[in-house]
Amino acid sequence: MADAANPPTKPTKASAPFVVIDAASANKARDGGADAPTPSAGHGRRWLRRACCGVAVGGALAAAAVLSLSLTVLRVRDPTLSMESVAVRRFSVRLDAASPARPLRINVTLSGAIVVRNPNYESMRFGASATEIFVDGAADPGPVGVGRAPPGEVPARGASRVAADVDVLVDRVAPAVVAQVLFGGGEVRLATRTAVDGRLSLLGGLYGRRTVRVAMRCRVALRVSAAAVAVAGNPACVADFGR
């Protein structure tokens, strides 16, 4: 009876536990910790490193280019001169009894071929060159002949040939030359000096213009007789550094 008065009751279900979800902790666990960089930050650092490397490589290439230009195109070297040949075009040898001070008249026109060489990487324009001729051993140190060659242009790392005619009045000098011709070996030794002024436009004038000057001295021997005047041997030339 007692069982009937107190019917059995169903056991109640246990209450579900209270769970708190921390979104920040969940993101931290998913990303592997708070110190792990985000994808955007890692990409930015990689881009910055690449940019720094590019700037360094560009600077090195620019420095190498400037150094190469300074050693080649922008480096101005002096041109050189050489006397390729000397020949006698006209001559006049005659006795002048009416002038005891100058009994022998010797007038010669020499034709010389001058070669201007340009070692630079830019073409060079040069003005008219002047050639002076002196007699070795003469008491008068002044020139006995002056000639000029026309202006021109020499290509880059090339050469240009210029012809110059010089009228030489050998009888202007003291009687020593006359005695050498009449009673000696008939040889007259001449010394020549040639100077050329040029101008270079570096990089087409963007880097400025440079003026250069080159000179040379040569020695030429003439064999003189009443019938002929000829050049003895080849001219011997050296650069005139004291220009």
For the domain 80-239, what is the CATH code? 2.60.40
Let me know: does 127 contact 162? Beta carbons within 8 Å: no
For residues 36 and 156, the model is more confident at: 156
Ranges of each domain in the chain? 24-71, 80-239
Residue 60 is predicted with a pLDDT of 59
Q: How far is CA 217 from the centre of its chain?
A: 24
Burial class (CB in 10 A: 0-12, 13-18, 19+), 180: middle
Let me know: does 194 contact 216? Beta carbons within 8 Å: yes
Distances (CA, A) of 108 to 59, 83, 114, 222: 64, 18, 19, 10
pLDDT band at residue 107 under the 50/70/90 scheme: confident
CB atoms inside a 10 Å sphere around CB 66:
11
Q: What value does the mean pLDDT of the chain take? A: 75
Rounded distance between C-alpha atoms, residue 165 and residue 163, angstroms: 7
For residues 204 and 122, the model is more confident at: 122
For 20-73, the pLDDT digits (tens) are 455 555 555 555 554 555 556 666 777 777 777 777 667 656 655 554 554 455
- For the entire predicted model, the pTM comes to 0.63
> CA-based angle 127:128:134, to the nearest 5?
135
Q: Which among 87, 90, 91 has a CA at the least distance from the CA of 225?
A: 91
Rounded distance between C-alpha atoms, residue 37 and residue 20, angstroms: 27
Could you give the percent of the chain with pLDDT greater than 70? 62
CB atoms inside a 10 Å sphere around CB 166:
24
Q: Name the β-bridge partners of 159.
A: 117
Average pLDDT over residues 115-136: 89
